[in-house]
Structure 1
């Protein structure tokens, strides 16, 4: 698995993922949807690989 998610993209994904997980834990949050989506977004930030980028050939990381 080659990384295809770059630095700023990873930071944005981590912030959005944590925000969705936090929102899912609040009493008014849509727990059934926001939690799993936030978890998946956070995992893509941690591993630096997004399967949704593959069919489109998108890479936001720098090529070495």
Structure 2
């Protein structure tokens, strides 16, 4: 099976569009929301913390892709 060229790999694997500061804030916000949900403060709404936590860990935000936003520093 032939290997994909770097240009083809970008189409297969979406590039990251969430920068380091953004990622850190997302992970922290996700953990806080999940913790508040587990403590009973937010109830089931705390599960919404899974969204920022997942996008922070993965480094790709589908909403950013739709809006054309990219908080990653540009590569030289």
**Normalization by structure 2: what TM-score?**
0.76
CA distance in 1, matches of 2:43, 2:15: 32
- Could you say what the CA RMSD is over the residues aligned between the two structures, in angstroms? 1.0
CA–CA distance in structure 2, aligned partners of residues 51 and 31 of structure 1 = 26
- Could you tell me which residue of structure 1 aligns to residue 28 of structure 2? 15
State the distance in 1 between where 2:20 and 2:64 align. Answer: 15
* Structure showing greater relative contact order (alpha-carbon pairs closer than 8 Å, 6 or more residues apart): 1
TM-score for the superposition, normalised by structure 1: 0.88
| Structure 1 segments unaligned to the other structure (5+ residues) | none
Q: How far does residue 32 in structure 1 lie from its aligned partner after superposition?
A: 1.5
Q: C-alpha distance in 2, partners of 1:62/1:46?
A: 17
Structure 1 residue 46 displacement after superposition:
0.3
Equivalent in the alignment of 1:34: 46
Q: State which structure, 1 or 2, has the greater radius of gyration over its C-alpha atoms.
A: 2
> Which 5+ residue runs of structure 2 have no aligned equivalent?
1-13
Q: How many residues align?
A: 62
